[in-house]
Structure 1
Amino acid sequence: MKLKSYFNTLKNKPALIPVFAIFLNKYVLIITVFIFWMLFFDTNSWLIHQELDQEIQELKDNKEYYIKEIIKDQKDIVKLKDSTEIERFAREEYFMKREGEEIFIIEYEDSLPKSKNDE
């Protein structure tokens, strides 16, 4: 009951607090609550849209990366149609060798995985 009488006194004296009197208008209250609800609590809220926009941007970045990788792989495929390039690729990647040839693999100490005994 006290709250109702407090609001009635404010409605009777809007000249004392003009800004507060505007917020007592039921339409302004309803619109404010609606905007607040739509920004933060609704299933299509502004926060959710921000998350979705971020995901879309990440997916676009991934798409650009994969397109570049596809182009690079297509160039490699064209190069590997030549028999000398296939031989070079096999020797570099799979350490294959010709007859009578020896291969020496040099590993640096910092490139070797550390064992538990070394620690």
Structure 2
Amino acid sequence: MLFYFIIYIFVYMNRLLEIFRNKYFLSTAAFAVWMLFFDKNDMLSQYEYRTEVHKLQEEKDFYEKQTAQVKKDLNELNTNLNTAEKFAREKYFMKKDNEDVFVIIKETPKD
């Protein structure tokens, strides 16, 4: 039984050696190794490019949402006088002549 197993391994190894000695296999393997590991656009570079593209796409989506919100707010400020007055009072502490403005700052507890 062991003898047949050894012969089977020997035959299998001879087939592998024949395949490895084939010039087409060697050239294809060398090309694949070169493209996967040593080329300018190897697998690691492609992974880094894809992660950077994903990150930039997320930033683009964020800024598109921000732009839409700012356009909506600007339209609201230009069309509604009450909103413009509220914005000026909250952001720039503007007041009417007969009013007093009190700014209340909440103290944060210090640990």
Return the offset for 1:109.
Answer: 2.1
- Which structure has more helix as a fraction of its residues? 2
TM-score of the superposition, structure 2-length normalised? 0.73
Return the offset for 1:74.
Answer: 1.1
Give deviations 1:2-54, integer Å, cap 9, x for gaps: xxxxxxxxxxxx63723641334343233222211101110122221221111
TM-score of the superposition, structure 1-length normalised? 0.69
- Letter aligned with residue 17 of structure 1: M
1:15 matched to 2:11? The reply is yes
Give distance in 2, aligned partners of 1:106 and 1:78: 30
The alignment's C-alpha RMSD in Å is 2.4
- Letter aligned with residue 42 of structure 1: D
Give distance in 2, aligned partners of 1:95 and 1:44: 56
Q: Paired residue for 1:84?
A: 82
Give distance in 2, aligned partners of 1:19 and 1:67: 60
Q: Which runs of 4+ in 1 moved over 6 A?
A: none
1:70 matched to 2:62? The reply is no
Q: Secondary structure at the match of 1:35?
A: helix
Gapped regions of structure 2 (runs ≥ 5): 1-9
| Residue identity (%) | 38
- Letter aligned with residue 88 of structure 1: K
- Letter aligned with residue 14 of structure 2: P
